[in-house]
Structure 1
Amino acid sequence: MTGRVRRWAAARNVMKLSLRWISLRLRLMLVFALVALAAAVSASAIAYWLNRDAVLTRTQDAALDDFRKSLQDNTGTLPLGPTCQELQAAAERMAATSQKYEVLLIDSGEGGRACAAPSDRDLFSLKVVPKSLQAAVGRERRVDDSNRYAYHLYWQRITLDGKPYLVGGAKVIGGGPTGYLLKSLENEREDLNSLAWSLGIATGLALIGSALLAQAAASTVLRPVQRLGDAARRLGEGKLDTRLRVSGTDELADLSRTFNKTAESLEKRVEELSAREAASRRFVADMSHELRTPLTAITAVTEVLEDEADNLDPMIAPAVQLVVSETRRLNDLVENLMEVTRFDAGTARLVLDDVDVADQVTACIDARAWLDAVELDAERGIVARLDPRRLDVILANLIGNALKHGGSPVRVSVRTEDDALRIDVRDHGPGIPEDVLPHVFDRFYKASASRPRSEGSGLGLSIALENAHIHGGEITAANSPEGGAVFTLTLPRDVSGLEEQPAGERDGADGTADGKNAKSAKTSKSGKTGKNGKGGQ
């Protein structure tokens, strides 16, 4: 029993799983078809059995009534102990009625010998009559107030050679013969078969009609649902002005009204949030621009102080160096904020050029005096069409981050894969903790809370990722099985299909995220540039 229950539950789960893969339209049509089929089959079955009962009852009642009357009329004039010829003549007269049945009369003839007289010897004999029917016909019943006759008429339906027949019999009261009738029900069976075919055709037509009705009903019900789904899809794509036309007062109309109200509220909320975000971006951009003027003056002063560092009082020199480093850090932070603002505002564009990738990587490393700490594995002649300034930003951040937080030597390898360019930057440090990996490209994220005032701003890797995205590329971070972290940059070799930025739109901010271009990485008189990389954050 437990096994059967489990199999039944498993079959039910399979059926449910199968129904989930069927569309709602097909499910509605299937339900309509099953209901219509069940109703049509039930109605056809009931109609068939009612008609069958009526046809057979009418036929057998007419035949039995005629047999009873004919038996009384044709045997009432026979003498006691009639001859076989007399019984035969009576049987033939009885069979000559309009009911078309065969008759068998049985009685004790001359000398007490039983005589059986059939109207058709080839078809009807006593062997055809079931034993149970013979016993019922020959059984004498007690006559009383509730039973006026000692003998009664009995009947039974049988099949001979695959054909249906009605067999009936009765014994003449007063010592008369016993008579049996055999009537063919072949015509009635043919009529019932025709009725069954008609009902089957009607059931098929009902099934087809129900399928058409289901299709119409499904279209009527699902069309609003489909429109609602399309509207929700457009809303999810950012088309917040999407609305549905509503007509009627049914549940689907109420659902459409609810959708419209929700979309309207969402549009207002998004507009408010967009306005706040735009105001925040303008604030950051304006603040960064406002800071650039005093920073320029401060930077000039710090450069003068740095040039005169050897002539300063030893007690003052550390303070001067601190001012110089913090000024540079603040300047880098402002530049990074301006670059982030361009990405958020969607104003960052590409200025494309054909670039030898190996030369570009070498120039990036050389400009920042990283040649002694970086190993380059790149073939000459790998040319890609991209924005060289933004590629320099990406490389500076990735290599600088590896030098600062990883371990030397840092290995940079350049490969081509089909129409893509792949650059791997691997260090030999302890690697990146697993809980930090998902956040390495987050803005202002720092793995160690104990270094809140580290040299980086926490924007370098995020800016590098944005520059990769604007090229249609990607940067991933992982830990190498041999130890150390690996940053993989993947870029298309030709991004000409992307929108280019007119040369005149480039402003003075290179947005190079801590790892600056050659101009900002110039070596000072004291030779303090490039060693720390000032690269990624």
Structure 2
Amino acid sequence: MKLFVKIFLFSMIVLSAALSLSGYLLIMSSYKNAVVQETQRAMDQYQFIKFLIQSDIINQQDETDKNNLSDLISASLSNMENQNLTGLSNGINYVSVFSKGQKSIYSTFPSDLDFKISDYDVNQKIINKIEQIQGRAYVEVLGKITQSGQAVYLLTATDIQSVIDQKEGMVRNFGTIYFITIGIGIVLVIIFSTLLTRPLRKMSAAAGRIADGNYSERLRVLSNDEIGELSKMFNMMAETIEERIFELSNAAKQKEDFVSNFAHELKTPLTSVIGYADMIYQKPLSREDTKNAAAYILDEGLRLEALSIKLMDLIVLNRQDFVLEELPADELMQSIAGTLKPLLSNEKIKFKMEVVKAYIKVDYDLFKTLLLNLIDNAVKAGSTEISLIGEIMQKNYRVSISDNGCGISADEIERITEAFYMVDKSRARKQHGAGLGLSLASKVAEIHGTRLEFISTPGKGTVVSLSLPLEGGGVSV
């Protein structure tokens, strides 16, 4: 059962029960009060009739010699009826007198009324109760009249049908008011239930959209009550979910980037390793050449081992605090040239290197990866000549790589360091490129406190350069 239906049914049950109980109590209280008042009035009227009868009996005893109380009362009531004194009773409808033997002496009650004084407890001083006479309600009052040692019973009946009619009228009026109130209540409860459940429906819909992947979904907080607090907590939960999803997505992307970058970085050193291994296997080399080739294979193997860990730190953990060491620039460049020898030889590319001796502060594995990526891109650009220049510019050591490849247009040069961006996608796919080399090179340049600068002319070639603080050695040019 939906919450709206529960609220509606509960509210209507409570409203109906409250109205019914309050109406019942109000009507019964009013009815009882009216009956008490009418009973008291009937008692007063009984006393009034009794007083008139006793007064008339005393007068008759003074004027006549009659001593029979029954005769005196009969004469008194007849006299009162002849003089229309019963009108003084103000509402008394019937009067009856019974002898001590419960025989009727005088009565104005209907002749067909089966009335028995034995139905009353005549030992009580005065009795009153409500009876039905010919379909109308009366308060009957019975009491004893004692005079000159004789006793009779006086019975009066006062019409209170108006009280019964008033009660029935109140019941009818309450029924009308009840149904009108219930009708208004239904409308108000529907409005109230709708207003109360609308935020919950919106929350349910928002939860469904979040479940469908729209993690930016939020609720508008329109109140400070419990619903408003629930909306705030829902938004906090949604923000937490969005943050966790972003973290998980970012972690997955970082791991994917690591795998892609590491696979990308395997190509050049593996080419070098395979080239030198093939050279040792295919050609008869001198002891010295064999040691040099093995040294390059060992160096690239160790670099790949260290590079795997550093790429993990850089890409997955976003580490930036790598330890930079002072290294001789010429030896580093010579190592790069040796690594590239098999690749450049296979591609029949002319390689030129001009390096000024100086000391620079770099991470050997990462910086070598940076330069290898730049040269690898020059190879992929269809170059026939590549130059690696290391020179001193004022207080900086500037490293430049130039080629005579296809070049890059001005509108694309701003995006070439974006991950997975490729200038010539068809050529990159043929060469198994993924658009990761320059993105990784840009990150490594940031770690060394510098950035890559590109100067390119389509159809003529590209120059990529970066500047590092000069740590010592060399002569400024």
Give the TM-score taking structure 1 as reference length: 0.43
Query: Which has a greater percent of helix?
Result: 2
Give the TM-score taking structure 2 as reference length: 0.48
Query: Which has a greater percent of strand?
Result: 2
| Structure ID, larger Rg | 2
